[in-house]
Amino acid sequence: MPNERITIKDIAEKAGVSVGTVDRVLHKRPNVSKKALSLVNKALEEMKYEPNMYASALANSRRYDFYCLIPKHESEAYWEEVEEGQRKCCDVRRDFHVHINMKYYGRNDVVSFNEQSRAILEAKPDGVIVVPAKLDITRPFTDELHAKGIPFIMLDSYLPDLRPLAFYGQDSFASGYFAAKMLMLIAANETEIMFMKQTLDGINVASKQQVNREVGFRHYMADHFPNVRINDLDLPYQNTRKQHNLLLEKYFQEHPATHHCITLNSKAHIVGEFLLRTNRRDVQIMGYDMVEKNARCIREGSISFLIAQHGYQQGFYSVDALVRAIILKKHVTPVNYMPIEILSKENVDFYRRTQI
């Protein structure tokens, strides 16, 4: 018997109990004898009854508060796409009274992460989305979420030891390997390339995701282009544009053979804009994320390729996963790798970050 044709009356007749008893069982109300509960559950199993969770959720007028713990970021940053996707999902799922609340922590700032995670726990959220810091910093927070029975989704870096409900992001090793492969399609005859990183107070601010990309990148280079020298260039995160320009000018004076550069973060435009201002048309950089500053550089030719991470989709799907798991009681796929998509001058304007 198809589920949509099964009524409470059908179940009551099958179980040999009253309609009121079935209603109490379905809605988990008290005052049902063990015998009646057993009869009703047996009837539900034999009839393969599945409750219409969608209709039940719509009938429930309660508010659901989700929290997202995410790094602090400037405008036109990758994380803005994530936030836009989350807000869009809340709008799409507005019939379920879903709300997303943002909390921001500083990269490599343990105190900030702890303060914001504590604020989230004190708010007693229905679900959480977290962009993790290092494993040992994030674990106390996620352990408390588990202890309180609060499901959480992980973005950007996949830390399976923390046992998230689900993860959304790229396979970081594969992404870095792919980035190297695409770069060397146009740099195969080069003797050296520049690898741009960002630091904060002398410390690499790369996320675990970026660290794993670098492992994949260097693995490909070691296997296929072991004789190409990789020159690391650290650009302090807190530096001004002028200070960045001085470091870049010095680098290119000392490395005139460099014609191709790469960064595994969303800041390729720092180098791209420098190349445009100094009219260095024989040098290009490859990077990540279709933020507008990067898009302008790729259109003008100083960025060769961008790898899109689909941040908007990650944001949308992370909220939707909480809706499906918490409200609709649906199974959620634990690991969800996003496609590794490459953008060039020829197709960047056709990229639709809002497409779901």
Whether 144 and 130 have beta carbons less than 8 Å apart is answered as: no
Distances (CA, A) of 99 to 66, 95, 111: 6, 11, 26
Rounded to an integer, what distance in angstroms lies between the CA atom of residue 298 and that of residue 306?
A: 8
Rounded to an integer, what distance in angstroms lies between the CA atom of residue 263 and that of residue 183?
A: 11
> Which range is most confident: 37-51, 61-75, 87-101?
87-101
Residue in 314, 325, 316, 311 with CA at minimum distance from that of residue 126 = 325
pLDDT tens, residue by residue, 131-165? 999 899 999 999 999 999 999 999 988 999 999 99
Residue 319 CB neighbours (<10 A): 25
* % of the chain with per-residue pLDDT over 70: 91
Residue 208 pLDDT exceeds 90: no
Whether 257 and 191 have beta carbons less than 8 Å apart is answered as: yes
Rounded to an integer, what distance in angstroms lies between the CA atom of residue 253 and that of residue 334?
A: 49
Task: State the pLDDT at residue 190.
Answer: 97
Confidence of residue 1 (pLDDT cuts 50, 70, 90): very low
- Both structure tokens of 237: 């995160």
Q: Which helix (H) or strand (E) holds 166?
A: strand 166-169
Dihedral pair phi/psi, residue 292, rounded to 5°: -65, -35
Whether 69 and 121 have beta carbons less than 8 Å apart is answered as: no
pLDDT tens, residue by residue, 210-233? 889 999 999 999 999 999 999 999
